[in-house]
Structure 1
């Protein structure tokens, strides 16, 4: 097999924003603090990163409950270690191949930074908070004849809650085995998948188990943001967001105007009643709507001070999530795709 690389701007559907980010960064430099692939910037950020020791200690303790990679955990506990972060939705059977490529890219970059004298640990953000089950309840595979085949879970209940908490009682393992046929490594794949996707497991746990098994020699750490210790670390950020919501929404509207005037799209539109938050209640993830003085979720209303006092009830939207990520981690590099890059053009003002 001869590998080849296709320029991103030759792929149909590539946005102007992402194309310019990769190939004409000077055109979008006002929307991003650093150029991609600029290791001089990486070194500068790593040297001046202000990350509290108490938060690092709490983060390592939280990660220890989700990971067995002792060497990576010990390394992250040191004050000079930075994080190379990536992540993805917790899709069936690890989701698209893109997921694995992102994880391996984070691993490779962390190793390159190590070689350059910057201690780095790769971390994978498990997007368990997302509530769109239809995006993760299936996987596309090439079967033994080279034909794309969709394999889906059909016995899950859609209740609007975080997909990471959705349990399944039966997995389409037979369909996967039939699709793989006599492909090389089919038996090994089935052993790993069956080991990870067991009845009673959640989408989040099974996804993490499969990635940990597949990439076990890579030193990759995984974080589930729904875990109570993680939510406790993020509580001050979420409480502050609620209190500063009018200011933050004004900043986002201003950034959206700047993007539009420059000829770029806005990945997330800010409506009059938009907020940056969801409410976690009764097993559901419910959008919070802002009316200028209060936040509302269906038939319930809250004053900002009420929610600021109970940040464990809050979940970030797509624009606040990168901010929460960089609050939790000593992030210096993020490995993302086109949509995430567009989010960050907006969330940079938060």
Structure 2
């Protein structure tokens, strides 16, 4: 049992995103090609012409080196080696190294990427399409990735180390694992999750190693390629673009006009670029590079460089220069033969700021695709919804809106005072006619009295609604409890629960079920019933 609703109907997505997927002409200037199967042929031609054999060889060498540390599947290794071919392209998603994958949409992003590759392979059988998960190992906000929720309980790792999260040690997770172990219960699915966490985080030294192992275990049979771009040889390919950012502030220069255009359309700006959109990494420090008085400073440190010293540092140690959220997309598209980036609404919002920057750097701007979203619900929950005479889509309403709708629906008293207001307005029509025959002060008094009485009826209507809500308190409590079970902490389910909760229900069928349900290019929000 499954269904879909529009992203706009969920009320959880921005105007920019809903306008994009509805092909609103207001958004056309901010992207290159719309995500449809027919768009990929031209995208491939453009990417093939710009992506060199040197870049392909470097990428394959780095990936094969990274894969020596895990038991890679034949499908993944074949996909890596195929990247040497000019007719092999990638579809990429990226995400932080969230503890035990964090919210379940981490999984949805990767499934969307794999599914699109399957669809492209059918459409273009003479080409090859490789799904890539880009590990955001250079991020330094450990608090953002250090927890996950399971059965309404928060599991959080502690840390002391600073700098990029990819090298953060996985030590001190024994206690957290012991807590999770107690909650997982018994059975084949629980044992799989137990061993997955244990082998990922207790048998690997860093978060990058742990995440690579975990994601590989879940997706290796689908040929997923996992890339950690925090590599000297990959960054060497990016030196020209890094120089442009350091010397000419390319991002700020080429996105300022785009930001003004987005603001003119009343869209929210996702990220405001800095003058220099790069970090400097050294000795467990990842800090912003700041240019002032013809000197480059590393924020919160004593390091500083002249222009010549900094360029020499870049050429000798490119691995010490780290993209921020605005330069990472260009880095990705420089080192990958990529056609499409799949991300959430917030991610696409800042990608829309970057088209002019890509054009200035002469790198093809990828097709942007909103990842699949889903609400997973059980057969038991479906039965409760039916018994309440509601639709699943009703539960996307804000709590007070849902309570109001239900109260109107089940109340044995008519709460709508529209008829009374209409009758009152009819009575005042005669007074308005009379007022038109006399002076303006009387005409104003009649209008004011009408407004006062209509306002009084509206107030009484609200009072009656509140009274009925109190009377129906027990019934509305049941509705609220069901809504919270579907939208924990009043968030989209996918932004709160961990994949392990659904895996306990579906087991090995979890990922195949998602692959069968998701159609990335349909651009609809999935409602998926599971048989439990």
**What TM-score do you get using the length of structure 1 for normalisation?**
0.90
**Residues 263 and 269 of structure 2 are in contact (CA less than 8 Å); yes or no, is this contact kept in structure 1?**
yes
Match of 1:207 among 192, 207, 211: 211
Aligned to 1:65: 65
Aligned to 1:224: 228
Aligned to 2:471: none
| Structure 1 residues 247-268: Cα deviation after superposition (integer angstroms, max 9, x where no partner) | 5422222221111111111111
| Structure 1 residues 103-159: Cα deviation after superposition (integer angstroms, max 9, x where no partner) | 111111112212222311111100011110000111112x3xxxx2211112x2142
| Structure 1 residues 144-191: Cα deviation after superposition (integer angstroms, max 9, x where no partner) | xxxx2211112x2142x0011100212211222223224761111111
How many residues align structurally? 338
Is the deviation greater in 316-325 or in 301-310? Answer: 301-310
Match of 1:301 among 304, 317, 341: 304
Offset of residue 306 of structure 1: 3.0
Aligned to 2:269: 266
Offset of residue 24 of structure 1: 3.4
The yes-or-no answer on 1:310 pairing with 2:309 is no
Offset of residue 334 of structure 1: 0.9
Match of 2:331 among 318, 324, 327: 324
The yes-or-no answer on 1:349 pairing with 2:356 is yes
Q: Where do residues 181-200 of structure 1 align in structure 2 (5 Å cutoff)?
A: 181-182=185-186, 185-198=189-202
Aligned to 2:41: 43
Offset of residue 199 of structure 1: 5.3
SS in 2 for 1:334: strand
Offset of residue 234 of structure 1: 2.7
**Residues 149 and 179 of structure 1 are in contact (CA less than 8 Å); yes or no, is this contact kept in structure 2?**
no
Measure the CA separation in 2 of the matches of 1:240 and 1:52: 20
Aligned to 1:7: 6
Offset of residue 233 of structure 1: 3.0
Measure the CA separation in 1 of the matches of 2:196 and 2:233: 29
Q: Where do residues 128-139 of structure 1 align in structure 2 (5 Å cutoff)?
A: 128-139=137-148
Alignment gaps of 5+ in structure 1: none
Is the deviation greater in 290-299 or in 102-111? Answer: 290-299
Q: Where do residues 116-265 of structure 1 align in structure 2 (5 Å cutoff)?
A: 116-117=123-124, 118-141=127-150, 143=151, 148-154=152-158, 156-159=159-162, 161-171=163-173, 172-182=176-186, 185-198=189-202, 201-245=205-249, 247-265=250-268
**Residues 259 and 353 of structure 2 are in contact (CA less than 8 Å); yes or no, is this contact kept in structure 1?**
yes
Q: Which has the larger radius of gyration?
A: 2
**Residues 251 and 327 of structure 2 are in contact (CA less than 8 Å); yes or no, is this contact kept in structure 1?**
no
**What TM-score do you get using the length of structure 2 for normalisation?**
0.61
**Residues 204 and 210 of structure 2 are in contact (CA less than 8 Å); yes or no, is this contact kept in structure 1?**
no
- What is the alpha-carbon root mean square deviation over aligned residues? 1.9
User: Comparing both chains, which one has the higher relative contact order based on Cα–Cα distances under 8 Å and sequence gaps of 6 or more?
Assistant: 2
**Residues 239 and 307 of structure 1 are in contact (CA less than 8 Å); yes or no, is this contact kept in structure 2?**
no
Aligned to 1:89: 96
Q: Give the structure with the higher percent helix.
A: 2
Measure the CA separation in 1 of the matches of 2:333 and 2:293: 28
Measure the CA separation in 2 of the matches of 1:71 and 1:330: 16
Is the deviation greater in 21-30 or in 278-287? Answer: 21-30
SS in 2 for 1:66: helix
